[in-house]
């Protein structure tokens, strides 16, 4: 026995959109995170794609990254795991906007 | 809204509200600035609040805290793919005042504590993001800038309680280095279940609650898992060390799904509806990863100062945030009285923390984060102990029983753990937790 399955993904019990639909986001007019897709082209780790809990980083077929700030937890994981200087510009959204937790 | 205060506290989490409460009670003009629309709206945790630290700060807190359940059952679980071993502790004493800890939701708890500060006279400014520090020519912090029009707030003392990402501590140059390996991502689901169903599944009655910490739950990623009971929901989540998560190719929600599918966990959460999914970082580096906590005109408290204790069997941050926030508040009151808010004038903050549980616990447990997140503790020992116990309890008549030592030896060999590593880790464990 190894520690809990190291292999394939578990069967999801809920679709990702439904998961995110449980969270309230008061979307700000301006993006608080900007991803420079060009900087991403040379990136081999794609750390953000794996680690972002909101799954907001989507690789494109031409080697870039598509990012949408709207359903973001403002956790900070992406800028911490990204090793490419300048790829991610990160700040908190305008006061009163962004994620609003009610039951956590 | 350009205005002047005796002190500006940034962040209405537990650290900030505790600091503002102390200052307001001392008659100081204090602003408590929060970027969320209400305190707690940006915050998630496991979560259990251990209330002893509130005994002196909010006497009678247990009568009014927005409690979900009082923790009377505390279990630590070790998992492999198909096995689990649980140490399950219950105490009747924890069901009665003065209690040990309670589950409570952060939007409720944080709003309650911020309300105490407000009632004492603090000015709570929600929906206001602090965008940077204001400083004079000498570099001394003299207030903050906010994203409200004309929104500078001046004060001789600023207390940064802005949480794990603390852009203020970074801006002030208080973090020498910032290593992602010192941070974990917590991702959690709150699953609705009827109250009596939770009572049945967890063996609880009335206001009793359960707290389960899990090791071996996170596949190749170093970290852990947790299950907590609220009144009519169960919180289940994983905590994942960042570089390991990034390398693993496994997504956070996938690791939660895998934990929920484990035969020992599935019956606890089966059939419930997901009510809220959430995520937040935890500073897990402990004492050795802390930033400087004082500079001219500025103190840093709570998660912003890395003061969360995440050491395997413990996951405590709210109490350390309250303890450090209150100490920063007391130090600010004293500095204002003496009219000296320079780094020297604020040096009492560190001394206060050193002599309280906040830094005594952190110093004592400084080796814990590294040890708990090590490969052997995370991946090999869970399998070794589960195999050992399985051998002891598997009846193989007509073969005679194998002795415990022999079973242990076989389990260690099966998982490639040399005896000298066990000896070394036992010694580390003793020095760390003893
Ligand atoms: C998954 C998980 C499980 C946990 N489990 C537990 C547990 O069971 N028990 C426990 O005791 N601890 C637990 N913790 C740790 C605990 O949540 C933290 O240690 C605690 O919340 C720290 O309090 P704080 O006041 O320092 O920071 P926070 O609670 O993070 O509060 C910071 C506040 O500052 C505000 N803010 C930040 N930046 C700005 C800005 N620029 N302008 C204005 N406002 C700002 C934020 O909106 C927030 O309200 C857990 C943490 C996680 C992530
Ligand atoms: S954001 Fe960073 S980690 Fe993500 S793809 Fe771009 S360079 Fe890589
Ligand atoms: S802050 Fe967190 S949720 Fe938002 S994009 Fe970055 S990793 Fe994703």
Contacts of A102 in chain B (CB under 8 A): 41, 105, 107, 276
Helix then strand then coil, % of chain B, to nearest 5: 40, 25, 35
Among residues B253, B283, B313, which one ends one of the domains? B283
B409 has which bridge partners? none
The answer to whether A50 contacts B245, with C-beta atoms less than 8 Å apart, is: yes
B97 domain residue, yes or no: no
Cβ proximity of B371 and B432 under 8 Å: yes
> Which residues 63-82 on chain A approach chain B with CB closer than 8 angstroms?
73-77, 80-81
Q: Which ligand is nearest to the CA of A33?
A: 3
CATH number assigned to the domain comprising residue B136: 3.50.50.60
B349 & B408 share domain: no
CATH number assigned to the domain comprising residue B198: 3.30.9.90
pLDDT tens by residue, B398-430: 999 888 899 999 999 999 999 999 999 999 898
Between helix B318-338 and helix B14-25 the angle, nearest 10°, is 30
Total-model pTM: 0.96
- Mean pLDDT by runs of 10 across the 434 residues of chain B is 88 98 98 98 97 97 97 96 95 95 98 98 98 97 95 97 98 93 97 98 97 93 96 98 96 97 97 97 96 98 96 89 98 98 98 98 92 89 93 92 89 93 91 84
> Which residues 203-232 on chain B approach chain A with CB closer than 8 angstroms?
216-220
Ligand 2 center to residue B89 CA distance, Å?
44
B106 has which bridge partners? none
B401 & B340 share domain: no
B389 & B307 share domain: no
pLDDT tens by residue, B19-46: 999 999 999 999 999 999 999 999 999 9
Here the tokens at position B221 are 């990623």
- Nearest atom in ligand 2 to the alpha carbon of residue A81 is 3
Ligand 3 center to residue A57 CA distance, Å?
9
pLDDT tens by residue, B146-171: 999 888 999 999 999 999 999 999 99
Interface test with B, best of A49, A95, A97 (most B CBs within 10 A): A95
Q: Which ligand is nearest to the CA of A42?
A: 2
Ligand 3 center to residue B358 CA distance, Å?
30
Contacts of A32 in chain B (CB under 8 A): none
Ligand 2 contacts CB of residue A39 (under 6 A): yes
B200 & B303 share domain: no
Q: Which ligand is nearest to the CA of A35?
A: 2
Cβ proximity of B211 and B75 under 8 Å: yes
Q: Where are the domains of chain A?
A: 26-93
Range of the domain at B225: 180-283
The answer to whether B219 contacts A73, with C-beta atoms less than 8 Å apart, is: no
Here the tokens at position B64 are 């009014």
B214 domain residue, yes or no: yes
pLDDT over 70 for what percent of chain A? 89
Here the tokens at position B156 are 């001789």
d(C-alpha B341, C-alpha B293), whole Å: 14
Domain count, chain B: 3
Among residues B349, B366, B383, which one ends one of the domains? B366
B80 domain residue, yes or no: no
**What pLDDT, on a 0 to 100 scale, did the predictor assign at position A4?**
52
Among residues B318, B349, B366, which one ends one of the domains? B366
Q: Alpha carbon of B42 to those of B12, B108, B164, B326: distances in Å?
A: 10, 12, 12, 21
Instruction: Report phi then psi at B141, rounded to 5.
Output: -75, 130
Cβ proximity of B374 and B393 under 8 Å: no
DSSP B167-236: HHHHHTT--S---GGGEEEEEEEEEE--HHHHHHHHT--TTEEEEEEEES-STTSSEEEEEEE-SSEEEE
Second CATH level (architecture) for the domain A26-93: 2-Layer Sandwich (3.30)
Closest CA to B21 of B59, B78, B76: B59
Identify the burial level of A12 via C-beta atoms within 10 angstroms of its C-beta, where 0-12 means exposed, 13-18 middle and 19 or more buried. middle
> Which residues 13-52 on chain A approach chain B with CB closer than 8 angstroms?
13-14, 16, 18-20, 22-23, 26, 45, 47, 50-51
The answer to whether B277 contacts A1, with C-beta atoms less than 8 Å apart, is: no
State which H helix or E strand residue B100 sits in: none
Q: State the ipTM, two decimals.
A: 0.95
**What pLDDT, on a 0 to 100 scale, did the predictor assign at position A56?**
98
């Amino acid at each position: 026995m190894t520690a809990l399955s190291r292999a394939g993904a578990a069967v999801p019990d809920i679709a990702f959109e439904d998961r995110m639909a449980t969270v309230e986001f008061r979307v700000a007019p301006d993006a608080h995170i900007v991803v420079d897709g060009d900087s991403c082209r040379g990136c081999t780790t794609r750390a953000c794609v794996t680690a972002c809990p909101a799954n907001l980083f989507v690789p494109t077929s031409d080697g870039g990254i598509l990012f949408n700030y709207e359903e973001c937890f403002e956790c900070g994981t992406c800028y911490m795991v990204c090793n490419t200087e300048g790829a991610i510009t990160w700040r908190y959204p305008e006061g009163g906007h962004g994620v609003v937790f009610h039951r956590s | 809204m350009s205005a002047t205060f005796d002190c500006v506290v940034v962040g209405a989490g537990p650290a900030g509200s505790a600091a503002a409460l102390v200052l307001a009670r001392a008659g100081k003009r204090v602003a408590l600035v929060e970027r969320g629309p209400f305190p707690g709206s940006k915050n998630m945790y496991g979560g259990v609040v251990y209330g002893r630290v509130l005994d002196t700060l909010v006497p009678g807190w247990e009568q009014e805290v927005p409690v979900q359940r009082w923790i009377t059952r505390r279990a630590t679980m070790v998992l492999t793919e198909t096995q689990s071993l649980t140490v399950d502790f219950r105490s009747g004493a924890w069901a009665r005042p003065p209690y040990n800890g309670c589950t409570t939701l952060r939007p409720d708890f944080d709003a309650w504590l911020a309300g105490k500060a407000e009632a004492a006279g603090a000015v709570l400014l929600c929906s206001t993001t602090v965008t940077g520090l204001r400083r004079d020519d000498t570099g001394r912090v003299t207030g903050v800038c906010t994203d409200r029009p004309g929104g500078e707030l001046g004060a001789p003392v600023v207390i940064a309680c802005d949480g794990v990402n603390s852009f203020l501590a970074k801006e002030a140059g208080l973090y020498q280095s910032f290593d992602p390996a010192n941070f974990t991502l917590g991702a959690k689901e709150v699953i609705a279940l009827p109250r009596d169903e939770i009572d049945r599944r967890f063996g609880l009655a009335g206001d009793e609650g359960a707290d389960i910490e899990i090791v071996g739950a996170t596949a190749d990623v170093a970290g852990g898992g947790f299950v907590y009971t609220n009144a009519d929901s169960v919180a289940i989540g994983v905590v994942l060390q960042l570089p390991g998560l990034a390398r693993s190719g496994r997504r956070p929600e996938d690791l939660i799904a895998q934990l929920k599918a484990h035969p020992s966990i599935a019956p606890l959460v089966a059939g419930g509806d997901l009510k809220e999914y959430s995520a937040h970082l935890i500073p897990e580096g402990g004492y050795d990863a802390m930033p400087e906590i004082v500079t001219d005109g500025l103190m840093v408290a709570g998660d912003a100062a890395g003061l969360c204790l995440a050491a395997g069997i413990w996951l405590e941050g709210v109490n350390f945030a309250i303890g450090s926030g209150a100490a920063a508040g007391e130090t600010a009151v004293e500095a204002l009285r003496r009219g000296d808010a320079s780094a020297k004038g604020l040096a009492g903050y560190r001394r206060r923390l050193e002599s309280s549980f906040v830094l005594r616990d952190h110093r004592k447990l400084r080796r814990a984060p590294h040890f708990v997140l090590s490969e052997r503790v995370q991946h090999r020992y869970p399998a070794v102990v589960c195999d050992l116990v399985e051998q002891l309890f598997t009846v193989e008549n007509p073969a005679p029983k194998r002795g415990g030592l022999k079973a242990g030896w076989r389990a260690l060999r099966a998982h490639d753990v040399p005896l000298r590593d066990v000896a070394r880790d036992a010694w580390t464990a003793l020095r760390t937790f003893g």
